Amino acid sequence: MPEGHTIHRLAQDCAERFLGSPVRVSSPQGKFADGAALLDGAEMTAAEAHGKHLFLGFRDGDWVHVHLGLFGKVAFGAVPPPPPTDTVRLRLAGPSAFMDLRGPTACALITPGEKRAIHDRLGPDPLREDADPGLAWHRISRSRTTVAALLMDQKVVAGVGNVYRAEVLFRHGVDPYLPGRELARGQWDAIWADLVELMREGVRHNRIDTVRPEHTPEAMGRAPRVDDHGGEVYVYRRHGQACHVCGEAVRTAELAARNLFWCPGCQPTNAPGV
DNA sequence: GGCCCATGTTCAT
DNA sequence: TGAACCTGGGCCT
Protein backbone atom coordinates (compact mmCIF):
# COMPACT_ATOMS: atom_id res chain seq x y z
CA MET A 1 0.00 0.00 0.00
CA PRO A 2 2.79 2.41 -0.64
CA GLU A 3 2.29 6.00 -1.71
CA GLY A 4 4.10 8.81 0.07
CA HIS A 5 1.66 9.01 2.98
CA THR A 6 2.40 5.35 3.86
CA ILE A 7 6.12 6.03 4.06
CA HIS A 8 5.79 9.18 6.15
CA ARG A 9 3.52 7.30 8.52
CA LEU A 10 6.08 4.52 8.61
CA ALA A 11 8.81 7.00 9.55
CA GLN A 12 6.62 8.30 12.39
CA ASP A 13 5.81 4.79 13.58
CA CYS A 14 9.49 3.80 13.54
CA ALA A 15 10.48 6.98 15.41
CA GLU A 16 7.90 6.29 18.11
CA ARG A 17 9.04 2.73 18.65
CA PHE A 18 12.78 2.75 18.12
CA LEU A 19 14.29 6.23 18.33
CA GLY A 20 16.95 6.61 20.99
CA SER A 21 17.16 2.92 21.76
CA PRO A 22 19.55 0.19 20.81
CA VAL A 23 17.90 -1.96 18.18
CA ARG A 24 18.38 -5.60 17.33
CA VAL A 25 18.71 -5.83 13.55
CA SER A 26 18.43 -9.03 11.57
CA SER A 27 17.60 -10.30 8.11
CA PRO A 28 15.94 -13.70 8.45
CA GLN A 29 15.64 -13.97 4.68
CA GLY A 30 19.35 -13.24 4.30
CA LYS A 31 19.39 -10.57 1.58
CA PHE A 32 20.27 -7.84 4.08
CA ALA A 33 22.41 -10.06 6.30
CA ASP A 34 25.61 -8.00 5.94
CA GLY A 35 23.94 -4.70 6.75
CA ALA A 36 22.03 -6.23 9.63
CA ALA A 37 25.22 -7.66 11.16
CA LEU A 38 26.90 -4.24 11.00
CA LEU A 39 23.99 -2.44 12.65
CA ASP A 40 22.85 -4.98 15.19
CA GLY A 41 22.68 -3.38 18.63
CA ALA A 42 23.22 0.18 17.37
CA GLU A 43 21.04 3.08 18.46
CA MET A 44 18.50 4.43 15.98
CA THR A 45 18.98 8.19 15.77
CA ALA A 46 16.66 9.29 12.93
CA ALA A 47 13.68 8.20 10.87
CA GLU A 48 12.60 10.31 7.90
CA ALA A 49 10.81 10.07 4.58
CA HIS A 50 11.12 11.78 1.21
CA GLY A 51 8.45 10.72 -1.25
CA LYS A 52 8.29 6.93 -1.19
CA HIS A 53 11.77 6.56 0.30
CA LEU A 54 12.33 5.76 3.97
CA PHE A 55 15.61 6.52 5.74
CA LEU A 56 16.49 5.07 9.13
CA GLY A 57 19.58 6.60 10.74
CA PHE A 58 21.99 4.78 13.06
CA ARG A 59 24.99 6.16 14.95
CA ASP A 60 26.59 8.87 12.86
CA GLY A 61 26.06 8.48 9.18
CA ASP A 62 24.84 4.92 8.79
CA TRP A 63 21.52 4.94 6.99
CA VAL A 64 19.18 2.15 6.00
CA HIS A 65 17.42 3.07 2.79
CA VAL A 66 14.06 1.35 2.30
CA HIS A 67 11.79 1.51 -0.72
CA LEU A 68 8.68 -0.66 -0.61
CA GLY A 69 8.14 -0.79 -4.35
CA LEU A 70 4.80 -2.23 -5.37
CA PHE A 71 4.75 -5.19 -3.01
CA GLY A 72 6.66 -4.19 0.07
CA LYS A 73 4.88 -4.45 3.42
CA VAL A 74 5.69 -3.61 7.02
CA ALA A 75 4.17 -5.17 10.10
CA PHE A 76 4.65 -3.99 13.69
CA GLY A 77 4.11 -6.02 16.82
CA ALA A 78 4.94 -6.19 20.50
CA VAL A 79 8.07 -7.92 21.77
CA PRO A 80 8.94 -10.68 22.02
CA PRO A 81 8.62 -11.21 18.27
CA PRO A 82 7.47 -14.59 16.97
CA PRO A 83 9.93 -16.69 14.95
CA PRO A 84 10.28 -14.86 11.62
CA THR A 85 8.94 -16.34 8.40
CA ASP A 86 11.42 -16.80 5.57
CA THR A 87 10.36 -13.73 3.59
CA VAL A 88 11.29 -11.19 6.27
CA ARG A 89 14.03 -9.08 4.71
CA LEU A 90 14.56 -6.90 7.76
CA ARG A 91 13.53 -7.29 11.37
CA LEU A 92 14.04 -4.53 13.91
CA ALA A 93 13.43 -5.17 17.58
CA GLY A 94 13.47 -2.41 20.18
CA PRO A 95 12.66 -2.36 23.88
CA SER A 96 8.93 -2.83 23.40
CA ALA A 97 8.16 -3.32 19.72
CA PHE A 98 9.42 -5.12 16.65
CA MET A 99 8.99 -4.49 12.94
CA ASP A 100 9.11 -6.90 10.00
CA LEU A 101 9.76 -5.72 6.44
CA ARG A 102 8.82 -7.97 3.53
CA GLY A 103 9.18 -7.69 -0.23
CA PRO A 104 10.82 -4.26 -0.56
CA THR A 105 12.42 -3.10 -3.78
CA ALA A 106 15.26 -1.63 -1.75
CA CYS A 107 16.70 -2.29 1.69
CA ALA A 108 20.33 -1.24 1.82
CA LEU A 109 22.96 0.37 4.00
CA ILE A 110 23.94 3.70 2.49
CA THR A 111 26.32 6.59 3.24
CA PRO A 112 25.29 10.21 3.81
CA GLY A 113 26.52 10.97 0.29
CA GLU A 114 24.34 8.26 -1.22
CA LYS A 115 21.40 9.54 0.81
CA ARG A 116 21.97 13.06 -0.48
CA ALA A 117 22.03 11.73 -4.05
CA ILE A 118 18.60 10.19 -3.54
CA HIS A 119 17.18 13.47 -2.19
CA ASP A 120 18.74 15.30 -5.13
CA ARG A 121 16.95 13.24 -7.73
CA LEU A 122 13.54 13.56 -6.05
CA GLY A 123 11.12 16.41 -6.61
CA PRO A 124 9.34 18.35 -3.87
CA ASP A 125 7.28 16.20 -1.48
CA PRO A 126 3.92 17.66 -0.41
CA LEU A 127 4.48 16.09 3.01
CA ARG A 128 7.83 17.77 3.70
CA GLU A 129 8.18 21.21 5.22
CA ASP A 130 11.12 22.00 2.93
CA ALA A 131 9.12 21.35 -0.26
CA ASP A 132 9.06 24.03 -2.96
CA PRO A 133 6.12 23.52 -5.33
CA GLY A 134 7.71 26.06 -7.67
CA LEU A 135 10.33 23.48 -8.60
CA ALA A 136 7.57 21.14 -9.78
CA TRP A 137 5.84 23.96 -11.65
CA HIS A 138 9.11 24.77 -13.41
CA ARG A 139 9.15 21.29 -14.97
CA ILE A 140 5.42 20.93 -15.56
CA SER A 141 4.97 24.28 -17.24
CA ARG A 142 7.54 23.52 -19.95
CA SER A 143 6.65 19.88 -20.61
CA ARG A 144 4.68 18.33 -23.46
CA THR A 145 4.16 15.21 -21.30
CA THR A 146 0.64 14.63 -19.97
CA VAL A 147 -0.10 15.96 -16.52
CA ALA A 148 -1.10 12.40 -15.47
CA ALA A 149 2.40 11.14 -16.30
CA LEU A 150 4.11 14.17 -14.74
CA LEU A 151 2.33 13.67 -11.42
CA MET A 152 3.67 10.12 -11.24
CA ASP A 153 7.22 11.21 -12.09
CA GLN A 154 9.11 11.27 -8.79
CA LYS A 155 11.59 13.81 -10.17
CA VAL A 156 8.66 16.21 -10.58
CA VAL A 157 6.64 15.50 -7.42
CA ALA A 158 7.79 12.97 -4.82
CA GLY A 159 5.27 10.73 -3.12
CA VAL A 160 2.29 10.84 -5.47
CA GLY A 161 1.26 7.42 -6.77
CA ASN A 162 -1.51 5.96 -8.88
CA VAL A 163 -4.31 6.66 -6.39
CA TYR A 164 -3.47 10.27 -5.52
CA ARG A 165 -2.81 11.20 -9.15
CA ALA A 166 -6.18 9.91 -10.32
CA GLU A 167 -8.03 11.43 -7.39
CA VAL A 168 -6.41 14.86 -7.39
CA LEU A 169 -6.97 15.27 -11.14
CA PHE A 170 -10.61 14.36 -10.64
CA ARG A 171 -11.03 16.78 -7.74
CA HIS A 172 -9.79 19.63 -9.94
CA GLY A 173 -11.65 18.61 -13.08
CA VAL A 174 -8.39 18.31 -14.98
CA ASP A 175 -8.06 16.27 -18.18
CA PRO A 176 -5.38 13.67 -17.35
CA TYR A 177 -4.12 13.86 -20.95
CA LEU A 178 -3.54 17.61 -20.81
CA PRO A 179 0.09 18.45 -21.62
CA GLY A 180 1.84 19.96 -18.62
CA ARG A 181 2.58 23.20 -20.48
CA GLU A 182 -1.16 23.77 -20.97
CA LEU A 183 -1.95 23.60 -17.26
CA ALA A 184 -2.65 27.02 -15.73
CA ARG A 185 -0.50 28.24 -12.86
CA GLY A 186 -3.59 28.66 -10.68
CA GLN A 187 -4.62 25.07 -11.35
CA TRP A 188 -1.22 23.81 -10.31
CA ASP A 189 -1.24 25.87 -7.11
CA ALA A 190 -4.65 24.44 -6.23
CA ILE A 191 -3.57 20.87 -7.01
CA TRP A 192 -0.47 21.24 -4.84
CA ALA A 193 -2.42 22.69 -1.93
CA ASP A 194 -4.89 19.84 -2.25
CA LEU A 195 -2.12 17.22 -2.28
CA VAL A 196 -0.68 18.71 0.90
CA GLU A 197 -4.06 18.43 2.60
CA LEU A 198 -5.05 15.00 1.24
CA MET A 199 -1.69 13.42 1.96
CA ARG A 200 -1.52 14.80 5.50
CA GLU A 201 -4.91 13.27 6.06
CA GLY A 202 -3.52 10.08 4.53
CA VAL A 203 -0.69 10.00 7.09
CA ARG A 204 -3.12 10.62 9.93
CA HIS A 205 -5.51 7.82 8.97
CA ASN A 206 -2.99 5.59 7.19
CA ARG A 207 -5.28 5.33 4.16
CA ILE A 208 -6.37 7.37 1.18
CA ASP A 209 -9.71 9.15 1.39
CA THR A 210 -10.51 11.79 -1.20
CA VAL A 211 -14.29 12.14 -1.29
CA ARG A 212 -15.58 15.53 -0.16
CA PRO A 213 -18.20 15.64 2.62
CA GLU A 214 -20.96 16.57 0.17
CA HIS A 215 -20.26 13.47 -1.95
CA THR A 216 -19.97 10.87 0.78
CA PRO A 217 -22.35 7.90 0.61
CA GLU A 218 -24.34 9.34 3.53
CA ALA A 219 -24.72 12.74 1.84
CA MET A 220 -25.62 11.19 -1.53
CA GLY A 221 -27.98 8.57 -0.12
CA ARG A 222 -26.07 5.62 -1.54
CA ALA A 223 -24.61 2.51 0.06
CA PRO A 224 -21.24 3.04 1.76
CA ARG A 225 -18.44 1.65 -0.30
CA VAL A 226 -14.76 1.36 0.45
CA ASP A 227 -12.26 0.24 -2.16
CA ASP A 228 -9.96 -2.72 -1.54
CA HIS A 229 -7.18 -0.23 -0.95
CA GLY A 230 -8.99 0.84 2.21
CA GLY A 231 -10.36 4.30 1.44
CA GLU A 232 -13.28 6.10 -0.14
CA VAL A 233 -12.42 7.51 -3.58
CA TYR A 234 -13.99 9.10 -6.67
CA VAL A 235 -12.44 7.25 -9.61
CA TYR A 236 -9.55 4.99 -8.64
CA ARG A 237 -10.43 1.42 -9.70
CA ARG A 238 -14.07 2.45 -10.21
CA HIS A 239 -14.09 1.98 -14.02
CA GLY A 240 -17.52 1.20 -15.39
CA GLN A 241 -19.24 2.52 -12.26
CA ALA A 242 -21.21 5.75 -12.05
CA CYS A 243 -19.33 8.92 -11.12
CA HIS A 244 -20.32 10.08 -7.62
CA VAL A 245 -20.81 13.61 -8.96
CA CYS A 246 -22.21 13.47 -12.52
CA GLY A 247 -23.23 9.82 -12.91
CA GLU A 248 -21.20 9.10 -16.05
CA ALA A 249 -19.31 5.82 -16.21
CA VAL A 250 -15.76 6.13 -14.92
CA ARG A 251 -13.20 5.23 -17.58
CA THR A 252 -9.83 3.52 -17.48
CA ALA A 253 -6.90 3.34 -19.88
CA GLU A 254 -3.28 2.36 -19.71
CA LEU A 255 -0.85 5.24 -19.42
CA ALA A 256 2.88 4.60 -19.09
CA ALA A 257 2.20 0.96 -18.07
CA ARG A 258 -0.15 1.96 -15.24
CA ASN A 259 -3.93 2.05 -15.07
CA LEU A 260 -5.34 5.54 -15.27
CA PHE A 261 -8.88 6.30 -14.11
CA TRP A 262 -10.97 9.38 -14.84
CA CYS A 263 -14.54 10.59 -15.31
CA PRO A 264 -15.30 11.65 -18.90
CA GLY A 265 -18.08 13.91 -17.62
CA CYS A 266 -16.09 15.82 -15.00
CA GLN A 267 -12.75 15.64 -16.84
CA PRO A 268 -13.53 15.84 -20.57
CA THR A 269 -10.52 15.11 -22.76
CA ASN A 270 -9.68 15.88 -26.37
CA ALA A 271 -6.79 13.41 -26.40
CA PRO A 272 -6.73 11.48 -29.69
CA GLY A 273 -7.50 7.78 -29.46
CA VAL A 274 -9.13 8.04 -26.06
C1' DG B 1 -1.95 -25.90 -7.35
C1' DG B 2 -1.95 -22.10 -10.98
C1' DC B 3 -2.95 -17.58 -12.77
C1' DC B 4 -3.80 -12.72 -12.45
C1' DC B 5 -3.51 -8.55 -10.22
C1' DA B 6 -1.65 -4.68 -7.26
C1' DT B 7 -0.88 2.23 -4.11
C1' DG B 8 6.62 0.96 -7.88
C1' DT B 9 11.12 1.49 -10.08
C1' DT B 10 15.16 0.39 -12.93
C1' DC B 11 17.58 -1.43 -16.60
C1' DA B 12 18.09 -3.27 -21.33
C1' DT B 13 16.73 -2.87 -26.08
C1' DT C 1 8.51 -0.40 -24.91
C1' DG C 2 9.32 -4.51 -22.40
C1' DA C 3 11.28 -7.36 -18.92
C1' DA C 4 12.76 -7.91 -14.46
C1' DC C 5 12.41 -7.70 -9.46
C1' DC C 6 10.05 -8.18 -4.84
C1' DT C 7 5.24 -10.68 -2.21
C1' DG C 8 0.54 -11.92 -1.15
C1' DG C 9 -4.44 -12.05 -1.92
C1' DG C 10 -8.26 -13.47 -4.69
C1' DC C 11 -10.17 -16.38 -7.72
C1' DC C 12 -10.02 -20.26 -10.71
C1' DT C 13 -9.45 -25.24 -11.54
CATH assignment at residue A113: 3.20.190.10
pLDDT digits (tens, 9 = 90+) for A111-164: 999 999 999 999 999 999 999 999 999 999 999 999 999 999 999 999 999 999
Phi then psi for residue A225, to 5 deg, are -150, 130
Q: What is the mean pLDDT of chain A?
A: 95
- Residue A231 included in any domain: yes
Q: Which of A97-106, A166-175, A265-274 has the lowest mean pLDDT?
A: A265-274
Task: Tell me the CA–C1' distance in angstroms for A136 and C2.
Answer: 29
Residue A7 pairs in a beta bridge with none
- Give the Cα separation of A240 and A252 in Å (integer): 8
pLDDT digits (tens, 9 = 90+) for A19-43: 999 999 999 999 999 999 999 999 9
- Residue A267 included in any domain: no
Based on the residue annotation, tell me whether A258 is a catalytic residue of this protein: yes
Instruction: Return the CATH number at A185.
Output: 1.10.8.50
Q: Which of A62-71, A90-99, A169-178, A214-223 has the lowest mean pLDDT?
A: A214-223
Residues A215 and A149 occupy one common structural domain: yes
Most distant CA pair in chain A: distance in Å? 59
Catalytic choice (A9, A17, A52, A165): A52
Catalytic choice (A3, A28, A165, A251): A3
- pTM summary value: 0.96
Find, among A215, A274, A255, A242, the residue nearest to A263 by Cα. A242
Q: Which of A120, A148, A173 is the last residue of a domain?
A: A120
Strands (E) located in A68-129: 73-78, 88-93, 97-102, 106-110
Residues A46 and A86 occupy one common structural domain: yes
Residues A113 and A147 occupy one common structural domain: no
A257 touches strand C (CB under 7 A): yes
Residue A96: which domain range? 4-120
Footprint of strand B on the protein (CB under 7 A): A 1-3, 6, 51-52, 67-71, 105, 152, 154, 161-163, 208, 228-230, 237, 257-259
Q: Please tell me the total count of domains within chain A.
A: 2
CB A71 within 8 A of CB A128: no
Q: Could you tell me what percent of chain A has a pLDDT over 90?
A: 90
Choice between A98 and A223, residue whose per-residue pLDDT is larger:
A98
A259 touches strand C (CB under 7 A): no
Q: What is the mean pLDDT of residues A175-191?
A: 98
A229 touches strand C (CB under 7 A): no
Q: What is the DSSP letter of A65?
A: E
